[in-house]
Amino acid sequence: MSGGFGDRRGLVFAGVVAVLAAVGLYLTLGPRGGGGASGVAERPENGREASTWSPRPSPTSVATASDAPFDIYSFLPMTERELSAAADVAKRFTASYGTYRHDEDPSSYAERLRGFTTTELGEVLTRAVTDPVAVEQNRADELVSVGSAEIDQIRRIEETSVTFTVTCTQEITSKGGSERRVEEYAVTLVRVGADWRVYDLQPADEGQEGDPSPGPEGAA
């Protein structure tokens, strides 16, 4: 009897030791084995262990945009309507600048451009487009240019002026054939009363960088 009892007690003791060893091995190696979710569930009372197993938040969750509306125009020195009106003038002016033909009276071309500009710029452009040498060359080549324009970006915006970069595409035909010419301009506009007028036109890499400062000029 005593021998059997001793054998059974030895077996029970060996079983307890085996269970404790298994638990110790689990606690030691469990986290490295990837069983994090079950580890948290079995030991909820241990705050430190629970935080160890908490999944890292996805980077996209941090950058998720708010559903609240954002009015960018509240940070600009002019309203959406004012900015849209200025952009429309810049676009139409640039398209007109790129549209001309050899059999058109140069004065009519100049008059079209002056309809968009300040008095000073209108005078500068009139001298350029009515230059006898350029006019005779266009007539000799029978040159016809049809221009279109697209606003690329706002380069600078102030309370009384705005500068856009505008791409002008010209479809040109002449005695020598046809070609497409693409130029990028910096077009600066200023307020003249309730209207926008083109104050300056330059190649984009040389154009106006900001508010032209002088007071608005009268329209041509």
CA dist 210 → 45, 77, 164, 187, 191 (Å): 64, 13, 10, 11, 14
pLDDT in tens, 106-140: 999 999 999 999 999 999 999 999 999 999 999 99
pLDDT in tens, 66-109: 677 777 878 888 899 999 999 999 999 999 999 999 999 999 99
Query: Measured between alpha carbons, how far is 117 from 131 in angstroms, rounded to an integer?
Result: 19
Query: Measured between alpha carbons, how far is 161 from 186 in angstroms, rounded to an integer?
Result: 13
The verdict on pTM exceeding 0.95 is no
Handedness of CA 120, 125, 128, 131 (dihedral sign): negative
Nearest to 186 by CA among 203, 169, 198: 203
User: What's the chain's length in residues?
Assistant: 220
